[in-house]
Structure 1
Protein backbone atom coordinates (compact mmCIF):
# COMPACT_ATOMS: atom_id res chain seq x y z
CA UNK A 1 0.00 0.00 0.00
CA UNK A 2 1.30 3.50 -0.71
CA UNK A 3 3.33 4.82 2.19
CA UNK A 4 4.17 1.34 3.58
CA UNK A 5 7.72 0.03 3.89
CA UNK A 6 9.25 -3.45 3.64
CA UNK A 7 12.77 -4.80 3.38
CA UNK A 8 13.96 -6.64 0.28
CA UNK A 9 15.93 -9.69 1.48
CA UNK A 10 19.63 -8.99 0.95
CA UNK A 11 18.95 -5.43 -0.21
CA UNK A 12 17.29 -2.24 1.07
CA UNK A 13 14.15 -1.00 2.75
CA UNK A 14 11.74 0.15 0.06
CA UNK A 15 8.66 2.35 0.32
CA UNK A 16 5.63 1.91 -1.93
CA UNK A 17 4.81 5.25 -3.54
CA UNK A 18 2.10 4.05 -5.94
CA UNK A 19 1.04 1.07 -8.03
CA UNK A 20 -0.37 0.34 -11.48
CA UNK A 21 -3.24 -2.05 -12.21
CA UNK A 22 -4.52 -3.70 -15.37
CA UNK A 23 -8.11 -3.58 -16.66
CA UNK A 24 -9.09 -6.37 -14.22
CA UNK A 25 -7.69 -4.53 -11.21
CA UNK A 26 -4.63 -6.80 -10.83
CA UNK A 27 -1.47 -5.05 -9.67
CA UNK A 28 1.05 -5.16 -12.52
CA UNK A 29 3.65 -2.70 -11.27
CA UNK A 30 4.71 -1.24 -7.93
CA UNK A 31 6.42 2.14 -7.90
CA UNK A 32 8.88 2.35 -5.02
CA UNK A 33 11.72 4.38 -3.61
CA UNK A 34 14.54 2.89 -1.55
CA UNK A 35 16.53 4.20 1.37
CA UNK A 36 20.24 3.86 0.46
CA UNK A 37 21.18 3.94 4.17
CA UNK A 38 19.41 0.62 4.82
CA UNK A 39 21.51 -1.87 2.84
CA UNK A 40 21.18 -5.34 4.34
CA UNK A 41 23.89 -5.87 6.94
CA UNK A 42 24.55 -2.14 7.36
CA UNK A 43 23.55 -2.20 11.02
CA UNK A 44 20.47 -0.02 10.56
CA UNK A 45 17.97 -1.06 13.22
CA UNK A 46 14.86 0.48 11.66
CA UNK A 47 12.00 -2.01 11.91
CA UNK A 48 9.59 -2.68 9.06
CA UNK A 49 6.54 -4.97 8.83
CA UNK A 50 8.09 -7.65 6.65
CA UNK A 51 10.93 -8.96 4.52
CA UNK A 52 10.27 -9.84 0.88
CA UNK A 53 12.26 -12.71 -0.62
CA UNK A 54 12.54 -11.87 -4.28
CA UNK A 55 14.02 -12.95 -7.58
CA UNK A 56 14.73 -10.64 -10.51
CA UNK A 57 11.96 -11.20 -13.08
CA UNK A 58 14.38 -10.32 -15.89
CA UNK A 59 17.05 -12.82 -14.84
CA UNK A 60 14.96 -15.61 -13.29
CA UNK A 61 14.62 -19.04 -14.88
CA UNK A 62 11.28 -20.80 -15.21
CA UNK A 63 11.13 -24.23 -13.60
CA UNK A 64 8.70 -26.93 -12.59
CA UNK A 65 8.48 -27.40 -8.83
CA UNK A 66 6.95 -30.53 -7.34
CA UNK A 67 5.68 -30.20 -3.78
CA UNK A 68 5.42 -33.62 -2.15
CA UNK A 69 3.46 -34.02 1.07
CA UNK A 70 2.47 -37.02 3.16
CA UNK A 71 0.93 -39.91 1.23
CA UNK A 72 -1.71 -40.51 3.91
CA UNK A 73 -4.03 -38.16 5.79
CA UNK A 74 -3.76 -40.29 8.94
CA UNK A 75 -0.59 -41.06 10.90
CA UNK A 76 -1.62 -44.72 11.17
CA UNK A 77 -3.73 -45.67 8.12
CA UNK A 78 -3.58 -49.37 9.06
CA UNK A 79 -4.76 -48.69 12.60
CA UNK A 80 -8.48 -48.60 11.74
CA UNK A 81 -10.16 -52.01 11.84
CA UNK A 82 -13.14 -51.31 9.60
CA UNK A 83 -11.56 -48.81 7.18
CA UNK A 84 -9.43 -49.67 4.15
CA UNK A 85 -6.08 -47.87 4.35
CA UNK A 86 -6.69 -46.51 0.83
CA UNK A 87 -9.42 -44.30 2.30
CA UNK A 88 -6.62 -42.28 3.90
CA UNK A 89 -4.67 -41.56 0.70
CA UNK A 90 -3.94 -37.84 0.57
CA UNK A 91 -5.30 -36.41 -2.73
CA UNK A 92 -2.96 -33.44 -2.24
CA UNK A 93 0.21 -35.47 -1.71
CA UNK A 94 1.65 -33.97 -4.90
CA UNK A 95 1.23 -30.45 -6.23
CA UNK A 96 3.03 -29.57 -9.46
CA UNK A 97 3.75 -25.88 -9.98
CA UNK A 98 4.70 -24.67 -13.46
CA UNK A 99 6.70 -21.59 -14.50
CA UNK A 100 8.10 -20.92 -11.03
CA UNK A 101 10.63 -18.07 -11.04
CA UNK A 102 13.97 -19.23 -9.61
CA UNK A 103 17.48 -17.85 -9.24
CA UNK A 104 19.33 -18.04 -12.59
CA UNK A 105 22.25 -19.94 -11.02
CA UNK A 106 19.93 -22.96 -10.63
CA UNK A 107 19.96 -23.42 -14.42
CA UNK A 108 23.38 -25.10 -14.02
CA UNK A 109 22.28 -27.49 -11.25
CA UNK A 110 22.92 -31.19 -11.77
CA UNK A 111 20.54 -34.09 -11.14
CA UNK A 112 20.31 -34.84 -7.40
CA UNK A 113 21.92 -31.50 -6.39
CA UNK A 114 20.23 -30.21 -3.25
CA UNK A 115 19.11 -26.71 -2.26
CA UNK A 116 17.14 -24.87 0.39
CA UNK A 117 14.46 -22.58 -1.04
CA UNK A 118 13.95 -19.83 1.52
CA UNK A 119 10.84 -20.20 3.68
CA UNK A 120 9.71 -23.23 1.66
CA UNK A 121 11.91 -26.26 2.26
CA UNK A 122 14.63 -28.45 0.86
CA UNK A 123 14.65 -29.47 -2.80
CA UNK A 124 16.64 -31.70 -5.13
CA UNK A 125 17.00 -31.62 -8.89
CA UNK A 126 14.79 -34.29 -10.50
CA UNK A 127 16.04 -36.67 -13.20
CA UNK A 128 13.32 -35.26 -15.49
CA UNK A 129 15.34 -32.01 -15.72
CA UNK A 130 16.78 -30.97 -19.07
CA UNK A 131 18.66 -27.86 -20.16
CA UNK A 132 16.05 -25.11 -20.30
CA UNK A 133 13.49 -27.17 -18.33
CA UNK A 134 14.58 -27.66 -14.75
CA UNK A 135 12.48 -29.74 -12.33
CA UNK A 136 12.87 -29.52 -8.54
CA UNK A 137 11.32 -31.87 -5.97
CA UNK A 138 10.63 -30.77 -2.41
CA UNK A 139 12.10 -33.40 -0.12
CA UNK A 140 11.42 -31.71 3.25
CA UNK A 141 9.05 -28.85 4.04
CA UNK A 142 10.12 -26.27 6.61
CA UNK A 143 6.80 -26.59 8.44
CA UNK A 144 5.43 -29.85 9.74
CA UNK A 145 1.91 -30.36 8.37
CA UNK A 146 1.13 -32.93 11.12
CA UNK A 147 1.71 -30.27 13.79
CA UNK A 148 -1.38 -28.36 12.58
CA UNK A 149 -3.61 -31.41 13.06
CA UNK A 150 -2.62 -32.15 16.67
Structure 2
Protein backbone atom coordinates (compact mmCIF):
# COMPACT_ATOMS: atom_id res chain seq x y z
CA UNK A 1 0.00 0.00 0.00
CA UNK A 2 1.14 3.49 -0.81
CA UNK A 3 0.37 6.52 1.38
CA UNK A 4 0.53 9.94 -0.24
CA UNK A 5 -0.76 13.48 0.15
CA UNK A 6 -3.63 14.46 -2.11
CA UNK A 7 -3.24 17.27 -4.62
CA UNK A 8 -5.53 19.27 -6.91
CA UNK A 9 -5.52 16.43 -9.46
CA UNK A 10 -7.22 14.18 -6.87
CA UNK A 11 -10.34 16.30 -6.33
CA UNK A 12 -12.68 14.01 -8.28
CA UNK A 13 -11.48 11.02 -6.22
CA UNK A 14 -11.79 13.02 -3.00
CA UNK A 15 -15.41 13.86 -3.84
CA UNK A 16 -16.24 10.19 -4.39
CA UNK A 17 -14.50 9.12 -1.17
CA UNK A 18 -16.34 11.77 0.84
CA UNK A 19 -19.68 10.56 -0.52
CA UNK A 20 -18.82 6.94 0.34
CA UNK A 21 -17.87 8.04 3.86
CA UNK A 22 -21.20 9.85 4.32
CA UNK A 23 -23.18 6.80 3.16
CA UNK A 24 -21.14 4.58 5.52
CA UNK A 25 -22.16 6.92 8.34
CA UNK A 26 -25.82 6.32 7.49
CA UNK A 27 -26.60 9.50 5.54
CA UNK A 28 -28.81 9.13 2.48
CA UNK A 29 -27.54 10.73 -0.75
CA UNK A 30 -30.69 12.83 -1.11
CA UNK A 31 -29.09 15.78 -2.94
CA UNK A 32 -26.26 16.30 -5.43
CA UNK A 33 -23.24 17.76 -3.58
CA UNK A 34 -20.53 17.06 -6.18
CA UNK A 35 -20.01 20.70 -7.18
CA UNK A 36 -19.97 21.94 -3.58
CA UNK A 37 -17.46 19.26 -2.58
CA UNK A 38 -15.26 20.04 -5.59
CA UNK A 39 -15.23 23.75 -4.73
CA UNK A 40 -14.51 23.00 -1.07
CA UNK A 41 -11.58 20.69 -1.81
CA UNK A 42 -10.14 23.00 -4.49
CA UNK A 43 -10.29 26.07 -2.24
CA UNK A 44 -9.04 24.40 0.94
CA UNK A 45 -6.17 22.60 -0.83
CA UNK A 46 -5.17 25.80 -2.64
CA UNK A 47 -5.19 27.77 0.63
CA UNK A 48 -3.23 25.00 2.44
CA UNK A 49 -6.11 24.79 4.93
CA UNK A 50 -6.69 21.11 4.15
CA UNK A 51 -4.21 18.27 4.03
CA UNK A 52 -5.65 14.98 2.86
CA UNK A 53 -3.77 11.71 2.79
CA UNK A 54 -4.76 8.94 0.39
CA UNK A 55 -3.95 5.24 0.60
CA UNK A 56 -3.62 3.38 -2.68
CA UNK A 57 -3.58 -0.32 -3.37
CA UNK A 58 -3.62 -2.16 -6.68
CA UNK A 59 -7.33 -1.41 -7.19
CA UNK A 60 -7.06 2.33 -6.56
CA UNK A 61 -7.63 4.52 -3.52
CA UNK A 62 -8.84 2.42 -0.60
CA UNK A 63 -8.66 4.91 2.29
CA UNK A 64 -8.26 8.56 3.14
CA UNK A 65 -8.12 11.00 6.00
CA UNK A 66 -7.80 14.77 6.26
CA UNK A 67 -7.04 17.58 8.63
CA UNK A 68 -8.69 20.97 8.17
CA UNK A 69 -7.17 24.06 9.78
CA UNK A 70 -9.35 26.81 11.26
CA UNK A 71 -8.54 30.19 12.78
CA UNK A 72 -10.29 31.30 15.95
CA UNK A 73 -9.55 34.32 18.12
CA UNK A 74 -6.60 33.61 20.44
CA UNK A 75 -7.53 32.69 24.00
CA UNK A 76 -5.81 31.89 27.29
CA UNK A 77 -6.05 28.19 26.46
CA UNK A 78 -5.06 28.55 22.79
CA UNK A 79 -2.58 31.37 22.27
CA UNK A 80 -2.55 31.17 18.45
CA UNK A 81 -6.28 30.55 18.06
CA UNK A 82 -5.51 27.91 15.44
CA UNK A 83 -7.36 24.61 15.61
CA UNK A 84 -7.19 21.40 13.62
CA UNK A 85 -10.15 19.20 12.75
CA UNK A 86 -9.81 15.60 11.56
CA UNK A 87 -12.28 14.81 8.75
CA UNK A 88 -12.90 12.58 5.75
CA UNK A 89 -11.69 9.42 7.50
CA UNK A 90 -12.72 6.52 5.30
CA UNK A 91 -11.44 3.00 4.71
CA UNK A 92 -12.91 0.63 2.13
CA UNK A 93 -14.75 -2.14 3.99
CA UNK A 94 -12.45 -4.83 2.52
CA UNK A 95 -9.43 -3.18 4.15
CA UNK A 96 -10.79 -2.39 7.62
CA UNK A 97 -9.10 -3.81 10.70
CA UNK A 98 -5.61 -3.65 9.18
CA UNK A 99 -4.38 -0.52 10.97
CA UNK A 100 -4.85 1.80 8.00
CA UNK A 101 -6.94 4.35 9.93
CA UNK A 102 -4.35 4.35 12.72
CA UNK A 103 -1.57 4.99 10.19
CA UNK A 104 -3.58 7.80 8.61
CA UNK A 105 -4.24 9.35 12.03
CA UNK A 106 -0.51 9.22 12.80
CA UNK A 107 0.26 11.07 9.58
CA UNK A 108 -2.44 13.67 10.24
CA UNK A 109 -1.32 14.24 13.84
CA UNK A 110 2.23 14.75 12.57
CA UNK A 111 0.94 17.36 10.09
CA UNK A 112 -0.78 19.16 12.98
CA UNK A 113 2.37 19.05 15.12
CA UNK A 114 4.41 20.53 12.28
CA UNK A 115 1.90 23.39 12.01
CA UNK A 116 2.39 24.29 15.68
CA UNK A 117 -1.18 23.51 16.72
CA UNK A 118 -1.56 21.78 20.06
CA UNK A 119 -5.18 20.60 19.93
CA UNK A 120 -7.12 18.46 17.48
CA UNK A 121 -10.83 17.81 17.44
CA UNK A 122 -13.15 15.63 15.41
CA UNK A 123 -16.68 14.30 15.13
CA UNK A 124 -16.71 10.52 15.31
CA UNK A 125 -19.17 8.08 13.82
CA UNK A 126 -20.12 5.06 15.91
CA UNK A 127 -17.84 2.96 13.70
CA UNK A 128 -14.88 5.33 14.08
CA UNK A 129 -15.20 6.13 17.79
CA UNK A 130 -13.25 3.04 19.02
CA UNK A 131 -10.39 3.77 16.61
CA UNK A 132 -10.07 7.37 17.84
CA UNK A 133 -10.34 6.41 21.52
CA UNK A 134 -7.69 3.71 21.13
CA UNK A 135 -5.46 6.33 19.47
CA UNK A 136 -5.88 8.61 22.50
CA UNK A 137 -8.75 10.98 21.65
CA UNK A 138 -10.97 11.81 24.65
CA UNK A 139 -14.68 12.63 24.86
CA UNK A 140 -15.33 16.37 25.22
CA UNK A 141 -18.50 18.42 25.34
CA UNK A 142 -16.97 21.66 24.19
CA UNK A 143 -19.52 22.73 21.58
CA UNK A 144 -23.25 23.28 21.22
CA UNK A 145 -25.04 23.34 17.90
CA UNK A 146 -27.99 25.35 16.59
CA UNK A 147 -29.69 24.35 13.37
CA UNK A 148 -31.14 27.28 11.40
CA UNK A 149 -33.38 26.36 8.51
TM-score, structure 2 normalization: 0.22
Q: Which has the larger radius of gyration?
A: 1
Higher strand fraction (1 or 2):
1
TM-score, scaled to structure 1: 0.22
> Which structure features the higher share of helix residues?
2
